[in-house]
Amino acid sequence: MRDLPTLDYRENYLSMVHKVCQSIEYFLQDDMGLLGALSVTSAIDLVIDAVKNWPDDQLERQWLQSALVLVQRKGVRVLGYIV
């Protein structure tokens, strides 16, 4: 088996989570409408799944849950069954 390369900058996953959350925030602007909400559904699901078992990431989970509620209000209620 080959040696796997080090993760380097990717070890700080929380930085990546914050960048994804910034993108989610951008796409949830009112002028993006339903299209913006639809485009972030998989990102929200993915990031919630990534941080759900990390006890120090409670603020990020709360923010993501709030984003999920906003997406559902914009009409993407199917997310309630996915996450």
- 5 lies in a domain? no
Total number of domains constituting the chain: 1
d(CA 28, CA 8): 31
In a domain, 8, yes or no: no
Domain assignment present for 53: yes
DSSP H helices, the chain, are 13-27, 33-51, 58-73, 79-82
The mean pLDDT of 51-77, rounded to a whole number, is 82
Does 41 reside within a domain? yes
Sign of CA dihedral 46, 59, 9, 28: positive
pLDDT for the residue 82: 54
pLDDT classification of 79: cutoffs 50, 70, 90: low
pLDDT mean across residues, the chain: 79
For the residues 54-71, what does the mean pLDDT come to? 85
Mean pLDDT of all residues in 42-71? 85
Cα separation, 38 vs 27, whole angstroms: 9
Q: Is residue 3 part of a domain?
A: no
Q: 64: domain range?
A: 13-82
